[in-house]
Amino acid sequence: MTINMPSGVTELGAKDLGSLFHPNTNLAVHHANGPTVFTRGEGIRVWDDQNNEYIEGMAGLWCATLGYGDEELAKTAYEQIKKLSFAHLFAGRSHESAIQLADKLASMAPFRNARIFFGNSGSDANDTQIKLIWYYNNAIGRPKKKKIISRKKGYHGVTVAAASLTGLPPFHQGFDIPIPRIIHTESPYYYRGAEPGESEEDYATRLAASLEQLILSEDPDTVAAMIAEPLMGVGGVLLPPATYFQKVQAVLDKYDILLLDDEVICGFGRCGNTWGADTFHMKPHTISVAKALSSAYLPISAVIVPDFMYEPMIEASGEVGLFGHGFTYSGHPVSAAVALRTLEIYEERKLYDHVRRVTPKFQSRLSALGAHPLVGEARGVGLLGACELVRDKSTKEAFDPRLAVGAKCMAMCQQHGLIVRAIGDAVAVCPPYIVNAADIDDIFDRYQKGLDDTLSWASKEGLL
């Protein structure tokens, strides 16, 4: 393949374009514009290969909670590599890092008698969730009860099964996804989905009724579980309307359907509590975690399951010779040691309290952006939020998606030294937990400039 190099591309950028296959990227745009190559990070800031400085306003991908270059985590990784650089958990073998981390996570779980299954990413954690549900129902003699309900606009990963759970078309198109036994219900998108004058509570009632109708149409005896994020991150930072999970859970309980909680973005303090489930009144049966589990310093994920699911699997695995699921790097000792130290740091530095303390300022500055001419809704919780850009505030008319107005705003913010993420025309911000009040002002001052530049561009292009 002949590569036409964009003007101004650096040596590293040229190598990127010549050899690297990027995930979750518009490849056509990437080859036209070239990459932004980051070379170092410190605290909440990163630098590119042209020495431009940025505030990392997305904590990487919702994950670098402790920021960059934390000495404690670097030391922990180094010491563990020297002590035991690798060990696995297959065939009953074990090691201290995985045992201690599992014990810690079990003590933090919102249900008693938890078991911890380790993986490497949020995607494989949610893939594991599906397999565990199927295995469990086979073990207890319910071979028909296998369908998993997910939600439109939900995001649960990109492996074949997890991408099937994901309710976003770009993750399906061209991949022959979703697979059978994955079904989707409506998303809780109050800004777009509520009828005129409909309260959040009434909207939640309608969504729960729609869910029940779906279950009945599929046959409740074939529906095993529903998976949900406490808030929908990659779907556009969509917060559930008031009473949503209480009403949904009542429907699930009625038909003996489990609730699987995807805490990959929300877990470990992002929404102001240890679990996003606590913030939004969920009572999950199982939990997926990743991202903040290690502050993204090393890849690791976990699925937290209750004993009532684990115990039938003991006998079932004995009948076939083994429990045939797991990864070479499940509970990798270095990743597990770093994750355990991360959870300890959250407590030692009182970062959950810190998040709650700075949240009012963060949400106040976010809310103020709602007055901007381009912003239809500014929404968020904890240290997480997004502005949804619209062509007309009064009618909520959206821009033509082909105009990529959100991506333009993201680029404008980057020109002002702020990294945000365009999710369609919702522009998300999700900084590391270590931000202070001055950092928050700096983030939103730059965000405001990016919005102003986008407005100027849209006006000149005749888009308004």
Domain(s) of CATH 3.90.1150.10: residues in the chain: 36-69+350-460
- Quote the CA–CA distance of 223 and 166 in Å, as a whole number: 17
Residue 119: its pLDDT value, please?
Answer: 98
Q: How many CA atoms lie within 13 A of 318 on its CB side?
A: 6
**Eight-class DSSP state of 121:** S
Q: Where are the beta strands (DSSP E) in 204-266?
A: 223-228, 258-262
Hey, what long-range contacts does 46-49 have (CB within 8 A, 24 or more apart)?
46/419, 49/10, 49/12, 49/13
What pLDDT, on a 0 to 100 scale, did the predictor assign at position 162? 97
- With left for phi above 0 and alpha for psi between -120 and 50, is residue 371 left, alpha or beta? alpha
Segments of the chain scoring below 50 in pLDDT: none
pLDDT for 6 equals: 78
Instruction: Kindly report each contact of residues 190-196 with a partner whose C-beta sits within 8 Å and lies 24 or more positions away, as own/partner.
Output: 190/238, 190/239, 190/241, 191/376, 191/377, 191/379, 191/388, 191/396, 192/396, 194/241
User: Would you give the distance in Å from CA 74 to the centre of its chain?
Assistant: 24
Residues 6+ apart with CB under 8 A from 288: 122, 125, 126, 128, 129, 260, 261, 262, 263, 264, 301, 302, 303, 304
Class of domain 72-348: alpha beta
3-state secondary structure of 2: coil
Dihedral over alpha carbons 325, 329, 331, 336 (to 10 degrees): -160
pLDDT given at position 274: 97
User: What is 36-69+350-460's CATH number?
Assistant: 3.90.1150.10
Per-residue pLDDT, 1: 61
Q: In angstroms, what is the C-alpha Rg of the chain?
A: 22
DSSP-assigned letter for residue 48: E
> Where do the CATH 3.40.640.10 domains begin and end in the chain?
72-348
